[in-house]
Amino acid sequence: MKQELQKAMLIGMYLSKYDKQALEILGFESFIEAYNTIGLAIKVKPLSIRNYRDEFDPVFPNKRKGWHKRPMFQTRVEMLNKYKDLDIEVFTDLIKNIIYQNPAVNLIEEKVESEEDKSRTFAKRLITGQAAEQYFRDNYQSVPAFNGLAFEETTKFGCGFDFRVLHDAGFYAVEVKGLEKAKGAIGLTNKEYKTAFYLKENYFVFLVKNFIEMPVHDLFKNPIFSRELDFIKSERTIKQVSWNASV
Tell me, what amino acid is at 123? A
Task: Say what the pLDDT of residue 247 is.
Answer: 84
Structural domain boundaries of the chain?
A: 3-99, 139-225
Task: Say what the pLDDT of residue 85 is.
Answer: 92
> What's the rounded mean pLDDT across residues 32-53?
97
Task: Say what the pLDDT of residue 21 is.
Answer: 95
Query: What burial class does residue 176 get, using C-beta atoms within 10 Å of its C-beta: 0-12 exposed, 13-18 middle, 19+ buried?
Result: buried
Q: Across the chain, what does the average pLDDT equal?
A: 93
Q: Which fold has domain 139-225?
A: Trna Endonuclease; Chain: A, domain 1 (3.40.1350)
Task: Say what the pLDDT of residue 66 is.
Answer: 82
Tell me, what amino acid is at 73? F
Task: Say what the pLDDT of residue 1 is.
Answer: 55
Task: Say what the pLDDT of residue 72 is.
Answer: 86
Q: What is the DSSP letter of 140?
A: G
Above 70 in pLDDT, residue 119?
A: no
Q: How confident is the model at residue 65 (pLDDT cuts 50, 70, 90)?
A: confident
Whether pTM > 0.85 for this model: the answer is yes
> What's the rounded mean pLDDT across residues 141-154?
96
More confident residue, 72 or 138: 138
Q: Which of 54, 48, 18, 19 is nearest to 35 (CA)?
A: 48
